[in-house]
Structure 1
Amino acid sequence: MTETERKFLVKSEAYKKQAHTRKRIVQGFLNTDPRRTVRIRIYGNTAVLTVKGMSNETGTTRFEWEREIGLKEAQALLELCEKDILEKTRFEIPVGEHLFEVDEFHGLNKGLILAEVELKHENEPFEKPDWLGEEVTGDVRYYNSQLSKQAYKTWKN
């Protein structure tokens, strides 16, 4: 029940040609406390309730618990969520031995494209595709829970 992942900005749309799946995601947060976040996510006819704990010092590892729930339940829970509901399109791209998930955000987060790769352990080596940009692992501004409160378009450079 531990997730280890690294997160990156994406510097080109070349990932789209390599993607083997694409899905629209709608998600909201019932709780965005840094010590624990509770998320509702709907994609297609699937809905998931996720609880995440605090990240370690490097931002790569944290507790994650996830369960599939009914679509009607998820839609009702979205009505109870905090502030903004996130919408994004997720592309899944196999690269070497790993699967990258690239999220292209919509709405107030439009223009932000993030890639994540799940790892078995923090120092696991992985192949970096040429469209991968700056690493933002551990930068809380890029956590989905924070993007729902402080949208990318409102950031001051």
Structure 2
Amino acid sequence: MSYEIERKFLVVGDFHPFVRKSLSIKQGYLSSHPERSVRVRIQDKEAFLTIKGKGNDTGITRYEWEKKIDVTEADALLRLCEPGIIEKIRYIIPVGELAFEVDEFLGDNLGLLIAEIELPSEQTTFEHPEWLGAEVTGDVRFYNAYLATNPFCKWQ
């Protein structure tokens, strides 16, 4: 089994000077059940089908299975997805030996900036850049599957 170990943070400062790469992402959910989600993603010129399980008690670790698929097939699958397609720009920012991925959401989630860092273990320490804000790991409101059906523009 494959697991994703990831922590999430809000972004509060200017991260742009540190960006090394950016990607355009469009994704939808064939299933956004809280116990498991099935996601279709087109990322620039590649596409992926991903299944994620429910997070552990900390929200840091959860099962993840991902396979590369044909972009044409992914485009067809996006048309079958639940309402609420997520579009965002992902910025890759190296920090020490790791890298943050900052997602700048578009559309109904415009204005939301979330930084994620994948870790080799839950105990891994990492540098916290000055643009990193409050941690939101495990807060389901900041899961993409939640944002697809409960967009940021409707939050009070």
Aligned-pair distance for 1:113? Answer: 0.1
Corresponding residue SS for 1:39? strand
State the match for 2:8 in structure 1: 7
RMSD between aligned residues: 0.6
In structure 2, C-alpha distance between the alignment counterparts of 1:4 and 1:38, rounded to whole Å: 18
Identity of aligned residues (%): 52
SS of aligned partner of 1:62: strand
For the residue of structure 1 that corresponds to 2:149, the secondary structure is coil
Map residues 8-157 of structure 1 onto 2, 5 A cutoff.
8-13=9-14, 15-156=15-156
User: Tell me, which stretches of 5 or more residues in structure 1 are unaligned?
Assistant: none
C-alpha distance in 1 between matches for 2:42 and 2:134: 28
Take 1:3 and 1:52, find their aligned partners in 2: how far apart are those partners? 9
Q: How many residues align?
A: 155
- Structure 1 runs (4+) deviating above 2 angstroms are none
Q: Within 2, Cα distance between the matches of 1:17 and 1:81?
A: 35
* Cα distance in 2 between the residues matched to 1:118 and 1:3: 7
Q: Which amino acid aligns with 1:45?
A: K
- Cα deviation for residue 44 of structure 1 reads 1.6
Q: Compute the displacement of 1:16 (Å).
A: 1.2
Shift in Å, 1:43: 1.4
Q: How far 1:72 moved relative to its partner?
A: 0.7
**1:77-133 deviations in whole A, cap 9, x for unaligned?**
000000110000000000011110000000010000000000111121000111000
* Whole-angstrom CA distance in 2 between matches of 1:139 and 1:153: 18
SS of the equivalent of 2:99 reads strand
Task: Compute the TM-score of the two structures, normalised by the length of structure 2.
Answer: 0.98
Structure 2's unaligned 5+ residue stretches are none
